[in-house]
């Protein structure tokens, strides 16, 4: 007899609503656009923009500058999309070249701050010159249009310079997070058959110097297609050197002209390949193309975070992930924004490092992850309370669902109850925000609210029927400009993973519910859904219930095989600073979950740990936790931010 399919249960109830700030909404970029098009409400905007070809054409005409005009907005042969066909375009033209014809060239593009405290400002003109030199350097090493270049660098301004230099000459960059192991770097370089790698000698992290050149050398022993390595000198300490292969950045750049013609690309030529973490199977090489990606990222940043001329934007992510690609490098530069880049750890050397930086740099818009927010919660609210941070006007969240308690802490102690929180849902695959508030959207803590204009998101049951107020599969029904253009060298995997479940519909892989107001609540990844005595429960709801307890900073919930219930719930809890674990607290937390979302969701086991395993981008690795907890093989943990936390899971009491 076939197993009965049930919707995921909705257990968490969040009733608080925060209305938009009237002044912010009235003067926002999105409101100005709405007035221009005779639209008065959010509902009218969303309805009008369901004509996706009309909407994205309007935005392309406003934000992008094509060398050759496009013939058609969209060609859609599911699952393959081409945007702005017939057009010639290069994202670097919009991000840099066109600014050289205006006073924008003298404005600050990036404010860099090293972990050790040094700062440097880069104007758009300075970025333009250095990008051209490195682009010419790549050409001198034989890099041509379509070649792949690997970039293995920390959070330095030279990282976006390297990316833009590749794009300028039509090369495809593949950035690998600097915290990944040499094996992970080599694996990605071999898959994309990179011709050149770009790295640095050392960088700083939590007061320690990381020898990235040594790691690069180890990777090059395995990456057989890489012919040359360009090395940026971050600190000048001696490094090993391979003559003929290795080139100092400053030396090879000094030999080049600071002018370089930008390659005129087809609008659908590839811009970059970005690999997912590869915790299950080999990494997936997500491909993004020039024009559609440029439009999607620039439009979403302009409207969601309402970037204005005087804003100071700080996306506190790492450029090694898609958040950094889209919202540190490309979209802010297309919009001509002033951005902060910080090299080091969030709470080093003092717990208030971020908040002091917000105040000192006059940051107006801050975008970070729920993991970072919960980490600061654990350190204590006294640290943001030391700083007025009066410059802040908008906050943002990215990476995974933000639980309501963390949302409220962020709103209260960082935003001082004055800053709306733009809780954005999107993926490496989507390229840009998909479900997100706008400055005109009423906010519900823990909800990504509604789809961005031009995005057709729904929640389907197992049979493909749209559902409301029940957990189901998050899907996107229509193509969007920043969508992935397949997986590198793996068309079948692309079709099978994302497009085979429902006809001509993208399967996001996230369990979600949509409430009666059309607001989306992400409940977790589909493969993390728990099945307890016939009840399908989203792990993020149980985690949110635990974190809503005043003594809990973070929680990870998994299912263990259970003879009677199918699965039993096990929670691993990180307590707030100064709180001691005890049997009394364990019982208190179980009952707290029962009160918050129901007795069925009470964990059978609660283990207290100092940290839970996370990826470098801050996502909790529940599959790793589950494997360790039930005694299965965990596999390679070198790509985790904190591999030592895996052992804690096995010892949790």
Q: What is the DSSP string of 373-430?
A: HHHHHHH-THHHHT---TT--EEEE-SSPPPHHHHHHIIIIISTT---EEE-B--TTT
Q: pLDDT value at position 623?
A: 82
Does residue 552 sit within a domain?
Answer: yes
Residues of the chain with pLDDT under 50: 1-5, 278-280
Please give the Cα distance from 299 to 411 (Å, whole number).
25
Tell me if 622 is assigned to some domain: yes
Structural domain contains residue 5: no
Contact 593, 601 (CB under 8 A): yes
Q: Say if 619 falls within a structural domain.
A: yes
Q: Which two tokens stand for residue 133?
A: 């030199």
- In CATH, what number is assigned to the domain containing residue 200? 3.40.50.980
Q: Is residue 518 part of a domain?
A: no
pLDDT in the model for residue 529: 66
Structural domain count of the chain: 2
∠ CA 226-165-199, rounded to 5°: 45
Inter-axis angle of helices 644-651 and 622-630, to 10 degrees?
A: 40
Could you give phi then psi for residue 367, rounded to 5 degrees? -130, 115
Domain boundary among 271, 291, 307: 271
Q: Is residue 19 packed enough to be buried (19+ CB in 10 Å), middle (13-18) or exposed (0-12)? A: exposed
Per-residue tokens: 22: 């009237």
The structure's pTM equals 0.87
Rounded CA-CA distance 295/121 in Å is 27
Q: CATH code at 630?
A: 3.30.300.30
pLDDT at 621: 86
Q: Using alpha carbons, select from 27, 29, 45, 47 the residue that is nearest to residue 37.
A: 45
Helices (H), 255-321: 290-304
Neighbours of 543 (CB within 10 A): 27
In sequence order, the 6+-apart residues with CB closer than 8 A to the CB of 127 are: 96, 109, 110, 157, 160, 161, 164, 333
First to last CA, the chain: 40
Asked if 185 and 138 count as a contact pair (C-beta separation under 8 A), the reply is no
CA dihedral in degrees (293, 296, 297, 300; nearest 10)?
-170
Of 52, 42, 33, nearest to 478 by C-alpha is 52
Residues 6 or more apart in contact with residue 224 via CB below 8 angstroms = 190
With respect to residue 294, please indicate whether it lies within any of the assigned structural domains. Answer: no
CA-based nearest residue to 410, from 451, 459, 355? 355
In a domain, 134, yes or no: yes
Cis peptide upstream of residue 561 (ω within 30 degrees of 0): no
Handedness of CA 502, 506, 510, 516 (dihedral sign): negative
Q: What is the pLDDT of residue 626?
A: 86
Measured in whole angstroms, how far is the alpha carbon of residue 593 from the centre of its chain? Answer: 30
Cβ-based burial of 4 (10 A; exposed 0-12, middle 13-18, buried ≥19): exposed
**What per-residue confidence (pLDDT) applies to 241?**
97
- Helix (H) / strand (E) containing 122: strand 119-123
Of 32, 346, 324, the C-alpha closest to 163 is 324
- pLDDT at 135 (0 to 100): 98
Three-state secondary-structure class, residue 95: helix
Q: Considering 271, 295, 320, which residue would you say is the last residue of a domain?
A: 271
Cα 283 to Cα 185, 277, 498, 624, distances in angstroms: 11, 6, 15, 16
Token reading at 452: 């961005």
Q: What is the DSSP string of 461-482?
A: -TTS-B-SSSBEEEEE-S--TT
Which residues lie below 8 Å from residue 357, measured CB to CB, with a gap of 6+? 113, 314, 340, 342, 363
- Here the tokens at position 442 are 């009423």
Per-residue pLDDT tens over the stretch 408-441: 999 999 999 999 999 999 999 999 999 999 999 9
Q: What are phi and psi of 615, to 5 degrees?
A: -75, 170
Give the list of residues 6+ apart from residue 456 with CB closer than 8 angstroms, or none. 50, 52, 476, 477, 478
> Quick one: DSSP state of residue 615?
B
Q: What's the confidence (pLDDT) of residue 5?
A: 46
HSE, side-chain direction, 13 A CA sphere, residue 620? 29
Domain membership flag for residue 281: no
End of a domain among 271, 286, 320? 271
Cis peptide before 349 (omega within 30 of 0): yes
CA distances for 247 relative to 134, 241, 613, angstroms: 12, 9, 37
Q: Residue 56's closest CA among 421, 263, 303?
A: 303
User: Which is it for strands 472-476 and 506-514: parallel, antiparallel or unpaired?
Assistant: antiparallel
Helix, strand, or coil (residue 553)? strand
Quote the domain boundaries for residue 167: 123-271
The candidate with the shortest Cα–Cα distance to 299, out of 619, 617, 40, 45, is 45
């Amino acid at each position: 007899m076939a197993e009965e399919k049930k919707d995921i249960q909705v257990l968490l109830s969040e009733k608080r609503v925060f209305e938009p700030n009237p002044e912010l909404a009235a003067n926002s970029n999105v409101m100005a656009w709405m007035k221009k098009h005779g639209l008065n409400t959010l509902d009218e905007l969303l309805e009008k923009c369901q004509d996706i070809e009309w909407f994205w054409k309007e935005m392309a005409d406003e934000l992008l500058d094509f060398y050759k005009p496009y013939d058609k907005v969209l060609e859609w042969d599911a699952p393959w999309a081409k945007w702005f066909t017939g057009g010639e375009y290069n994202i670097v033209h919009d991000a840099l070249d066109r600014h050289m014809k205006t006073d924008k060239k003298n404005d600050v593009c990036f404010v860099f701050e090293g972990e050790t405290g040094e700062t440097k400002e880069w104007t758009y003109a300075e970025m333009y010159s250095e990008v051209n030199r490195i682009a010419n350097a790549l050409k001198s090493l034989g890099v041509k249009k379509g070649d792949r270049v690997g970039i293995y660098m920390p959070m330095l301004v030279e990282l976006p310079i390297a990316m833009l230099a590749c794009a300028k000459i039509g090369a495809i960059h593949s950035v690998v997070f600097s915290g990944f192991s040499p094996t992970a770097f080599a694996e990605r370089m071999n898959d994309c058959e990179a011709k050149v790698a770009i790295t640095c000698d050392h960088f700083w992290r939590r007061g320690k110097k990381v020898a990235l050149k040594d790691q690069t050398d180890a990777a090059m022993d395995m990456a057989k297609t890489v012919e040359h390595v360009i090395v940026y000198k971050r600190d000048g300490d001696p490094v090993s050197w391979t003559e003929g292969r290795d080139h100092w950045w400053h030396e090879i750049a000094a030999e080049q002209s600071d002018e370089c013609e930008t390659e005129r690309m087809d609008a659908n030529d590839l811009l970059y390949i970005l690999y997912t973490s590869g915790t299950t199977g080999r990494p997936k090489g997500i491909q993004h193309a020039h024009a559609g990606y440029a439009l999607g990222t620039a439009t979403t940043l302009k409207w969601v975070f309402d970037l204005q001329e005087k804003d100071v934007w700080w996306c506190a992510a790492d450029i090694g992930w898609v958040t950094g690609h889209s919202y540190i490098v490309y979209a802010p530069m297309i919009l001509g924004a002033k951005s902060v880049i910080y090299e080091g750890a969030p709470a080093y050397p003092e717990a208030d490092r971020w908040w002091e930086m917000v105040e000192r740099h006059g940051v107006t818009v801050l975008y970070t992850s729920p993991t970072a927010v919960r980490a600061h919660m654990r350190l204590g609210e006294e640290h943001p309370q030391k700083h007025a941070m009066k410059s802040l006007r908008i906050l943002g969240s990215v990476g995974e669902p933000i639980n309501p308690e963390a949302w409220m802490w962020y709103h209260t102690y960082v935003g001082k109850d004055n800053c709306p929180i733009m809780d954005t849902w999107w993926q490496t695959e989507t390229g840009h925000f998909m479900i997100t508030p706008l400055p005109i959207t009423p906010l519900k803590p823990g909800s990504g609210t509604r789809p961005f204009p031009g995005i057709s998101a729904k929640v389907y049951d197992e049979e493909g029927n749209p559902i409301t107020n029940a957990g189901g599969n998050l899907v996107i029904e229509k193509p969007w400009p920043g969508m992935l253009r397949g997986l590198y060298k793996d068309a079948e995997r692309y079709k099978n993973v994302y497009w085979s479940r429902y006809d001509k519909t993208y399967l996001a892989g996230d369990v979600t519910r949509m409430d009666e107001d059309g607001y989306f609540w992400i409940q977790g990844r589909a493969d993390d859904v728990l099945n307890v005595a016939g009840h399908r429960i989203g792990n993020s709801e149980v985690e949110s219930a635990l974190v809503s307890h005043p003594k809990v900073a973070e929680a990870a919930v998994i299912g263990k095989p259970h003879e009677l219930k199918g699965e039993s719930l096990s929670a691993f809890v990180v307590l707030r600073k100064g709180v001691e674990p005890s049997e009394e607290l364990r019982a208190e937390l179980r009952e707290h979950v029962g009160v918050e979302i129901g007795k069925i969701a009470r964990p059978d086991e609660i283990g207290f740990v100092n940290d839970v395993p996370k990826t470098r981008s801050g996502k909790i690795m529940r599959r790793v936790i589950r494997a360790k907890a039930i005694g299965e093989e965990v596999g390679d943990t070198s790509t985790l931010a904190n591999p030592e936390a895996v052992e804690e899971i096995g010892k949790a009491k």
